[in-house]
Amino acid sequence: MKILSKSGDTIEILASPSEPPLTRGDYLLIIDGDKKLLAQVIDVEYAEIPGILEDALRELASESLSVRNFDPYDVGSILV
């Protein structure tokens, strides 16, 4: 996954189709050095592919992935 943009309280994230799918209500732990941010998925959309977004998707597809399910309050069990 890769952060595409941040505007106010909204963070747009690119995810590869080969990664586990995200759904509304999922939580993401975003780590930048020693800083951490817990974010919740509120919407899922397909990407439009012009210009910079196309380059970002290509870069994302070539990266190695490390995905871990983080659900500290076990809310996933009540969403199913």
User: What pLDDT is recorded for position 40?
Assistant: 92
Q: What is the pLDDT of residue 36?
A: 92
pLDDT at 38: 92
- Coil, helix or strand for 37? strand
- C-alpha to C-alpha distances, 25 to 21, 44, 75, nearest whole angstrom: 12, 10, 9
pLDDT at 78: 77
Confidence at residue 66, expressed as pLDDT on a 0 to 100 scale: 66
Q: Is residue 46 part of a domain?
A: yes
How confident is the model over 8-29, as a mean pLDDT? 86
Kindly report the three-state secondary structure assignment for every residue of 2-17: EEEEEECCEEEEECCC
Determine, yes or no, domain membership for 74. no
pLDDT band at 13 (very low <50, low <70, confident <90, very high): confident
Query: Looking at the domain assignment, is residue 7 inside a domain?
Result: yes
Q: Is the pLDDT of residue 80 over 60?
A: no
Distance CA 72, CA 50 (A): 37
Full domain range(s) for residue 53 = 2-66
In the chain, the number of structural domains is 1
